[in-house]
Structure 1
């Protein structure tokens, strides 16, 4: 039998793979993204980098900062700054919860992935606390052990 490969969902546009390695992720929230016309075209083409991005609550509004969206190739004068701050579309209650959660020491809001839902770009945000190096090593060790256990069970049955 052929090996089954994990494929990313068809609507997944960008993913922050380092986030789960560098942070412990708590609650997650889905937020809409306010984008210009050329930005959404570039996002649909997969020209987005979430690696160093984070979200911040300012004046009762949520903003996505330090996320790079490459300029659209055919966009000419309508292209905007690739690193500009983009507004996140959330309910007032969700913004308040995020603000209260990050008011605590050592917590931040990290974008985990960007995907399309009913034609709109959505961001999955996670409330994150930083991991220490020994936590990262422990996670890698646990993952290797789980892989070995799964391999042994597969060979046995």
Structure 2
């Protein structure tokens, strides 16, 4: 049997753009995700939404990351063997990384959010976890104004050339 070629996959990537608008992202971590077969096929089919998701650190029986409120839609051909769309999903990371995130999340105003869900070059589902601190409304307005200035600058530079 021939080996599969490693490289760019054609599977979709899901980004949480809302999180980048509402939070300052201080640190990121790539984690694996425990999925059922129908969930993997549904993600490859493009039936996923991570906009409402958040991640918590559970200490019992051992430290682990759990992703909540991520909606992976039903995969129609699986019929009765389908999964629940909004079930809690365990994330896979090293114990040291989980403990480090747990210490940082204990601070006030810090949370963990899924930033991106994608398949890596090996075909494994991964989640980019962001350590996030909430933005005030004036910070959001300032970020929007900065983006507008950058767009205007780019337009001016493109007209000049």
| CA-based RMSD | 1.2
Return the offset for 1:146. 0.6
Q: For each residue in 1:7-38, what CA deviation from the matched residue of structure 2 results, as whole angstroms up to 9, or x when unmatched?
A: xx844421111111111111000000100010
**TM-score scaled to structure 1, two decimals?**
0.91
* Aligned with residue 111 of structure 1, among 101, 111, 114: 114
Aligned positions of 1:8-157 closer than 5 A: 10-59=10-59, 60-117=63-120, 118-157=122-161
**TM-score scaled to structure 2, two decimals?**
0.89
Aligned-partner Cα distance in 2 for 1:12–1:108: 26
CA contact (8 A) 1:12 1:113 kept: no
Is the partner of 2:38 in helix, strand or coil? helix
Q: How many residues were matched structurally?
A: 149
Q: In the superposition, relative to structure 1, how do residues 143 and 48 fare at CA in structure 2: closer, same or farther (>3 Å)? A: same
CA contact (8 A) 2:12 2:43 kept: no
Is the partner of 1:75 in helix, strand or coil? helix
